[in-house]
Amino acid sequence: MICPTCSEPDTRVIDSRVVEGGTGVRRRRECVSCRKRFTTFERYEREPLLVVKKNGQRELFDRGKILAGLLKAVEKRSISMEKLEDITGEIEKSIHEEGYDEVPSTRIGELVMEKLKALDQVAYVRFASVYREFRDVDQFMDILSTLKKP
């Protein structure tokens, strides 16, 4: 792996961890020349997956969009990036296991909501308010009432 700072081709792995629900590996590396440290991610390549948007448009699945949505939902919450990467990997794995070639964007949104509901209730409500396009307080109250049920 080439160092992103000095372009030295020789780096060493300091630490490796399984991430993204077991579908990836996070590696901390150090350049042998400049001693800068950086992180790399390794995951296996899958067949292309298409996402069918609400308007019928199709686009390639982009796990970065899931991660970006999670980051916005957990903003100013004490949730690690590693946990968010794991959730993103779990969602991607679920979609593939469900056998989709073309997955509806609504399915992805529901999976994200399930994960956030179990992770952090504030993040769940934030995501739900955007995903479900809340128009008034009653819609917030409906989602909050689901969180209070035992």
What proportion of the chain, given as a percentage, has pLDDT over 70?
95
Say yes or no to pLDDT of 150 above 70: no
- So what's the pLDDT on residue 43? 78
Cα–Cα separations (whole angstroms), residue 102 to 45, 61, 64, 138, 144: 17, 9, 18, 34, 32
| Strands ordered across the beta sheet of 50-52 | 58-60, 50-52, 102-104
CA dist 139 and 16 (Å) reads 44
Domain ranges across the chain: 1-45, 46-148
For tokens 């964007």, the residue is 105
Per DSSP bridges, beta strands 102-104 and 50-52 are: parallel
pTM: 0.68
pLDDT band at 119 (very low <50, low <70, confident <90, very high): very high
pLDDT band at 116 (very low <50, low <70, confident <90, very high): very high
pLDDT in tens, 46-88: 778 899 998 999 999 999 999 999 999 999 999 999 899 889 9
pLDDT in tens, 136-148: 777 777 777 777 6
pLDDT in tens, 10-50: 999 999 988 866 778 989 999 999 999 999 988 777 778 89
* 126 vs 104 pLDDT, higher one: 104
